[in-house]
Chain A
Amino acid sequence: MIGRIRQKIWMTKPTRSVGGDLLVLLLIGAAAAYSALPLVYSISNAFKPPNELFLWPPQFFVRNPTLANFYDLLVLMSSSWIPFSRYLVNTLVITLGGTAGHVIIASLAAYALAKHDFPGSKFMFSLVVLSLMFAKQVTAIPKYLITSVLGLVDTHWAIILPAWCMSLGLFLMKQFIEAMIHDALLESARIEGASEWTIFWRIVMPNVRPGWLTLIILSFQALWGETGGQFIYSEQLKTLPNALSQIVSAGIARAGVAAAVGVITMILPITVFVINQSKVIDTMGASGIK
């Protein structure tokens, strides 16, 4: 009986004692509860009517769930003088454009740094890694000046272009390419006369799928939350997080709406995450055949 349950839980044959197994599951369960409970609480808050939000002692779960907070949010959004869909489109342009460019440009560079040995390759990689350790708050002003010299202030490019060269993507993709692509595979392709461009698209990218799927999640999330406040002034170019933060900043009277905003902004990143993770797991099955 216990053996059958364990078989349903684990992929591999259990080499642990039953007690050890329980301990591991308990540990995972505790961590999952720690992660999930505050989120459950904030989702529950989003569905609370005002009298429950200010009830004492506050209840963890909602008793009479209502969509009033979401409805209020909808009313507030439709009363803004720029249609709210515009903010959503702006954020989507930044998120999708930034993520696509970042994944491609960073992977191109990561492939060369991981698999080609050329003068300056090591230097460039250490620059990228070291840059992660420089507090970004101080580089904000020089970055603004450069953006303005390039004439990008008050355009979406001010956010998209720097997103393309985030250090994270190059670092991550280089580690993935080094670990997942064997030199022998590249050599045989070169002997058959494939160009580096072909090798990159036909061999490298398909084989590091878990890598770029992960990078898509990370980049999507970072850009989805981007307010762009310091670069974008025109109302019709502003981002969704920026517009929503204006709604929420009205204070205690909007406590319910703020909870609804938090829940709504999470929906898309979580959807992207779920789709991508299922593909990361698919890849594992496929790589077994190779």
Chain B
Amino acid sequence: MAVLPERQMGARTGFQPEGRLAQFWKRVKQNKVSYLFVAPYGLLFFLFTVLPVGVAVVLSFTDYNMLQPPQWVGWKNYLRLFLADDVFLIAVKNTFVFAVITGPVSYLASFVFAWLINDLRPKIRAVLTLLLYAPSIAGSLYLIWTIIFSGDAYGLINSRLLYLGIIKDPIQFLTDPKWMMGVVIIVVLWMSLGTSFLAFIAGLQGIDSSLYEAAAVDGIRNRWQELFFITLPQMRGYLMFGAIMAITNSFAAAEQIIPLVGFPSTDYAGHTIVAHLVDYGSVRFEMGMASSIAVILFFAMVTVQRVVQRLLNMIGT
């Protein structure tokens, strides 16, 4: 608001009647209204998110079995994960493979389909949006995939293959380590046109159409130029949002994977970092270990997000 010029004026004349703290306080008071706007959200967010995350970070340096009070152990949990826990390293590898495929594919698909159907006539677009987004609304209906890929002769795919004589024994799609990750990726990608897809659709519709008209006058010739010089730069905020959604969904995946491949999965072939975290937290009651996994995962995601942000900042420059 109109705060900055005033402060610059003071700096220019070298006139500083107050200390830094007092100046800061003055700025805070000038922005009283802004604080009132963020207060309800901020208060609840602090209580239900910041505080629990803070507690979890502290717990990651302790031994805590949820019955006895936590015991401070320093970096022990972290060292144990990397040096003495083979399954954790398998989980890291699986998560990495899973995230490298589902993250970019779901992100690109969300944008490409939102962009393509944006040019369609409203009625056709509405029907297609519903069809493409439906798997995300369907909730627990994704469990239909366990029937489709079921490992017995009644599985939809197995029954067809057996019926046609292509295979003699049903394929254990959900328990054979060879197939597991592939099947999981197919199911997760099925649900991938979700939050970001909707945000992109709404974002694309919010772009001022006069921008395109002006661009046509300025000599933008084809759809690709339009995409790179107008659409993508206009969508930058949404693209950042979608990227973070893609990162969190692909790195923190477990919720849909566990019901598909079981827990623990055969040879840990479908074991992800969050599945490992759930193992420590809800099966072994080692909350300290579970928390340290969450902290490691957090830093991994933040690193990836920084890189993606760099890439996105290059758009349109």
Chain B nearest CB from A256 CB (Å) reads 13
Contacts of A228 in B (CB 8 A): none
Surface stretch bound by A, among B76-84, B130-138, B177-185: B130-138
Judge whether B49 and A167 touch: CB under 8 Å: yes
Q: Could you say which residues of chain A place their CB within 8 Å of the CB of B293?
A: 135, 138
In Å, the complex CA distance between A32 and B117 comes to 12
Is A288 interfacial (CB 8 A cutoff)?
A: yes
Encode A130-149 as 1/0 by CB contact (under 8 A) with B.
11111101111111011000
A111 touches B116 (CB 8 A): no
Most B C-beta atoms less than 10 A away, residue of A129, A133, A146, A196: A133
- B contact residues around A167 at 8 Å (CB): 45, 49
Is the CB–CB distance between B41 and A57 below 8 Å? Answer: no
Q: Mark A180-220, 1 if CB is under 8 A from B, else 0.
A: 10000000000000001000100000000011011001100
CB-contact partner of B133 in A58, A113, A124, A273, under 8 A = A273
Residues of chain A within 8 A (CB-CB) of B222 are 15
Contact (A111, B37) CB under 8 Å given A38-B145, A42-B141: yes
- At the interface, yes or no: B35 with Cβ under 8 Å from chain A? yes
Is A281 engaged at the interface, CB distance under 8 Å to the other chain? Answer: yes
What's the minimum C-beta distance from B216 to chain A, rounded to whole angstroms? 11
Contact of B135 among A39, A57, A134, A150 (CB under 8 A): A39
Q: Are A124 and B38 in contact (CB under 8 A)?
A: yes
Q: Within 8 Å CB of A179, what residues of B?
A: 203, 206, 234-235, 237-238
Chain B: minimal CB distance from A119 (Å): 5
User: A137 near B277 (CB under 8 angstroms)?
Assistant: yes
Report chain A residues within 8 Å CB of B241. Answer: 171-172, 175
Bound CA span A283–B34, Å: 28
B121 touches A129 (CB 8 A): no
Q: Mark A1-33, 1 if CB is under 8 A from B, else 0.
A: 000000011111001100000001001100110
How long is the Cα–Cα vector from A162 to B278 in the complex, in angstroms? 22
How many angstroms from the CA of A161 to the CA of B49 in the assembled complex? 11
B252 CB to closest chain A CB (Å) equals 6
Kindly supply a per-residue 1/0 record for chain A positions 97-129, scoring 1 wherever the CB is within 8 Å of any chain B CB and 0 otherwise.
000000001101101110011110100100111
Taking a contact as CB atoms under 8 Å apart, the answer to whether A175 and B237 are in contact is: yes
> Would A146 and B52 count as touching, CB distance under 8 A?
yes
B8-16, B194-202, B261-269 - the one binding chain A: B194-202
Expressed in whole angstroms, the Cα–Cα distance for A134 and B57 within the complex equals 10
**Closest beta carbon of chain A to B79's beta carbon, Å:** 19
- Contact of A9 with B130 at beta-carbon distance under 8 Å, contacts A133-B305, A176-B206, A180-B206 already known: no
Chain A: minimal CB distance from B230 (Å): 13
Is the C-beta of A243 less than 8 angstroms from some C-beta in chain B?
no
Answer yes or no: A36 CB below 8 A from chain B CBs.
Answer: yes
Taking the closest CB of chain A, its distance from the CB of B70, in whole angstroms, is: 11
B171 at the interface (CB under 8 A from A): no
Name the B residues within 8 Å of A133 (CB-CB).
244, 247-248, 251-252, 297-298, 301-302, 305
CB-CB contacts of A259-290 with B at 8 A, as 1s and 0s? Answer: 00010011001100110011011011001100
B66: CB under 8 A from chain A?
A: yes
> Once the chains are docked, how many angstroms separate the CA of A225 from the CA of B222?
44
Please state if B139 and A225 are interface contacts (CB–CB under 8 Å).
yes
Number of B positions contacting A (CB below 8 A): 108
A57 contacts B49, C-beta separation under 8 Å: no
Report yes or no: A165 in contact with B302, Cβ–Cβ below 8 A: no
The reply to whether A106 and B301 contact each other, CB–CB distance below 8 Å, is: no
Q: Please report which residues of chain B, range 280-309, place their CB below 8 angstroms from some CB of chain A when the two chains form the complex.
A: 281-282, 287, 290-291, 293-294, 297-298, 301-302, 305
The answer to whether A118 and B49 touch across the interface, beta carbons within 8 angstroms, is no
Q: How many angstroms from the CA of A58 to the CA of B293 in the assembled complex?
A: 43
Interchain CA distance A112-B59 in the complex, whole Å: 34
Does chain B have a CB within 8 A of A247?
no
Tell me if B44 and A105 are in contact (CB < 8 A): yes
The chain A residue sitting closest to B223, CB to CB, is: A15
Q: Is the CB of A130 within 8 A of B302?
A: yes
Question: Does A242 count as interface, using CB distance less than 8 angstroms?
Answer: no
Give the residues in chain B near A221, CB-CB below 8 Å: 136-137, 139
Contact residues, B18-36 vs A (CB, 8 A)? 24, 27-28, 31, 33-35
Determine if A24 and B234 form an interchain contact, defined as CB atoms under 8 angstroms apart. Answer: no
Report B221 CB to chain A, min CB distance, Å.
9
Show 6 residue pairs from A and B whose CB-CB distance is below 8 angstroms, ordered by the A residue: A36-B131, A39-B134, A131-B45, A137-B274, A179-B203, A211-B206
Contact surface of A with B, Cβ cutoff 8 Å: 8-12, 15-16, 24, 27-28, 31-32, 34-36, 38-39, 41-42, 45, 54, 56-58, 60, 105-106, 108-109, 111-113, 116-119, 121, 124, 127-135, 137-143, 145-146, 150, 161-162, 164-165, 167-168, 170-172, 174-176, 178-180, 196, 200, 210-211, 213-214, 217-218, 221, 224-225, 262, 265-266, 269-270, 273-274, 277-278, 280-281, 283-284, 287-288
Other than the given A11-B121, A168-B195, 12 more pairs (CB < 8 A) read: A35-B134, A113-B38, A131-B50, A134-B56, A137-B282, A137-B294, A146-B48, A161-B48, A164-B40, A225-B140, A266-B139, A277-B129
For the complex of A and B, list the 4 residue pairs with the smallest distance between their C-beta atoms, beginning with the closest.
A118-B31, A109-B41, A165-B44, A112-B37
